[in-house]
């Protein structure tokens, strides 16, 4: 590792990748942003426009379409959609240095395991709470929050004697860049808490194309969120993750309060005619419930509805290409 700032590759130039990559670039970190051609071209031409709650600024950083750009990076921030994790890591593997650290800033709770099945690098997970969206090809709009909880699953560590020091240094780098960041002693639980709010809100927001704040003003939706949460907690308990009803209620209420005007990433994906991550959210809960012999009818219902809209949205998009 470098004595001062790390060389960091942000793989996946969506809203999350652009926000955290931009924040790090503002703090003079060496950032390589890897994404699709149209976005890369716009950022290289005009810079990354950051329209944030505390500032508006144009940030200059390197952007590329080539996965080989990770070759000299000491830290990889993986920000691709969960359904692209395996293919992205397979493409990245030949270029990774053996000591490069991979951090998943993705939705769901299974990405760390998927990554570690492909590469032997140190792998960490981040629970991400931020309301951001891409306003255009090179403008990231920040609506609220922006903090990270980072930690590791002990059985994924390749060198347990050195990981805590490296992780502490990384958290300091994020904090110095204006990103609230803390070390989690139980990242599995943090990821499940994030999955909880994703399962409570994302599908409903997508089906109704409605914001979190609007959702909780509707009594019948409040009742649906309560049922989704009840089913979620049953599955989490069977998976060995202990989250109390009070903790779940607080997590749900916090999202509605701090991101009231935000629609879910699932809603944004459907609106753009893209695949969603629903298989890694409510679909994951349905799958695990089946494995445990549990019934999760509410999660099954919202999962099926999103899949229906997903198919319709992608068909319409293809028709008008």
Q: Are 143 and 258 contained in the same domain?
A: no
Query: Which pLDDT score is estimated for 81?
Result: 97
119 within a domain of the structure (yes/no)? yes
Show pLDDT as tens, one digit a residue, over the chain (321 residues): 444 577 899 999 999 999 999 999 999 888 999 999 999 999 999 999 999 989 999 999 999 999 999 998 999 999 999 999 999 999 999 999 988 999 999 999 999 999 999 999 999 999 999 999 999 999 999 988 999 999 987 544 444 444 556 677 788 889 999 999 998 989 999 999 999 999 999 999 999 999 999 999 999 999 999 999 999 999 999 999 999 999 999 999 999 998 898 999 999 999 999 999 999 999 999 999 999 999 999 999 999 999 999 988 765 555 444
286 within a domain of the structure (yes/no)? yes
Residues in the chain: 321
Among 120, 150, 185, give the residue marking a domain's end: 185
- pLDDT tens-digit profile of 180-238? 999 898 999 999 999 999 999 999 999 999 999 999 999 999 999 999 999 999 999 99
The CATH number that applies at residue 254 is: 1.10.1040.10
Q: Are 204 and 181 contained in the same domain?
A: no
Among 144, 161, 185, give the residue marking a domain's end: 185
Q: Are 33 and 181 contained in the same domain?
A: yes
Q: Are 138 and 192 contained in the same domain?
A: no
Query: Which pLDDT score is estimated for 312?
Result: 83
Q: Are 227 and 283 contained in the same domain?
A: yes
Count the domains in the chain: 2
Query: Which pLDDT score is estimated for 248?
Result: 98
Q: Are 108 and 219 contained in the same domain?
A: no
* Global confidence as pTM: 0.91
2 within a domain of the structure (yes/no)? no
Query: Which pLDDT score is estimated for 181?
Result: 95
Query: Which pLDDT score is estimated for 144?
Result: 87
Q: Are 132 and 45 contained in the same domain?
A: yes
Query: Which pLDDT score is estimated for 134?
Result: 94
1 within a domain of the structure (yes/no)? no
Among 127, 150, 185, give the residue marking a domain's end: 185
170 within a domain of the structure (yes/no)? yes
Q: Are 246 and 306 contained in the same domain?
A: yes
Q: Are 265 and 153 contained in the same domain?
A: no
The CATH number that applies at residue 15 is: 3.40.50.720
56 within a domain of the structure (yes/no)? yes
Query: Which pLDDT score is estimated for 166?
Result: 65
Query: Which pLDDT score is estimated for 1?
Result: 47
Q: Are 134 and 175 contained in the same domain?
A: yes
Q: Are 235 and 211 contained in the same domain?
A: yes
What range defines the domain where residue 262 resides? 188-319
Q: Are 166 and 242 contained in the same domain?
A: no
């Amino acid at each position: 590792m470098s004595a001062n700032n790390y060389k960091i590759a942000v793989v996946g130039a969506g809203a999350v990748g652009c926000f955290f990559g931009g924040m790090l670039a503002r703090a003079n970190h060496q950032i390589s942003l890897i994404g699709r051609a149209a976005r890369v071209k716009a950022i290289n031409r005009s810079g990354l426009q950051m329209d944030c709650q505390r500032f508006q600024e144009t940030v200059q950083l390197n952007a590329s379409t080539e996965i080989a750009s990770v070759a000299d990076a000491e830290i990889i921030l993986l920000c691709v959609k969960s359904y692209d994790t395996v293919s992205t890591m397979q493409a990245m593997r030949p270029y990774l240095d053996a000591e490069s650290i991979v951090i998943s800033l993705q939705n769901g709770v299974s990405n760390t395991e998927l990554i570690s099945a492909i590469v032997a690098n140190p792998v960490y997970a981040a629970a991400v709470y931020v309301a951001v969206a891409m306003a255009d090809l090179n403008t990231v709009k920040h609506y609220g929050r922006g903090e990270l909880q980072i930690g590791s699953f002990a059985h994924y560590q390749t060198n347990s004697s050195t990981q805590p020091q490296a992780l502490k240094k990384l958290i300091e780098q994020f904090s110095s860049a204006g990103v609230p960041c803390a070390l989690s002693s139980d990242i599995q639980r943090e990821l499940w808490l994030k999955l909880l709010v994703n399962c409570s809100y994302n599908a409903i927001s997508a089906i109704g194309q409605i914001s979190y704040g609007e959702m909780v003003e509707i009594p019948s939706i409040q009742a649906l969120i309560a049922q989704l949460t009840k089913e979620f907690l049953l599955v989490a308990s069977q998976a060995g993750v202990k989250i109390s009803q009070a903790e779940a209620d607080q997590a749900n209420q916090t999202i509605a309060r701090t991101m009231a005007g935000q629609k879910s990433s699932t809603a944004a994906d459907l609106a753009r005619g893209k695949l969603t991550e629903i298989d890694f959210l409510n679909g994951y809960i349905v799958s695990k419930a089946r494995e445990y012999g549990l019934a999760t009818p509410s999660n099954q219902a919202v999962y099926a509805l999103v899949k229906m809209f997903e198919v319709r949205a992608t068909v319409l998009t293809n028709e008008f290409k």
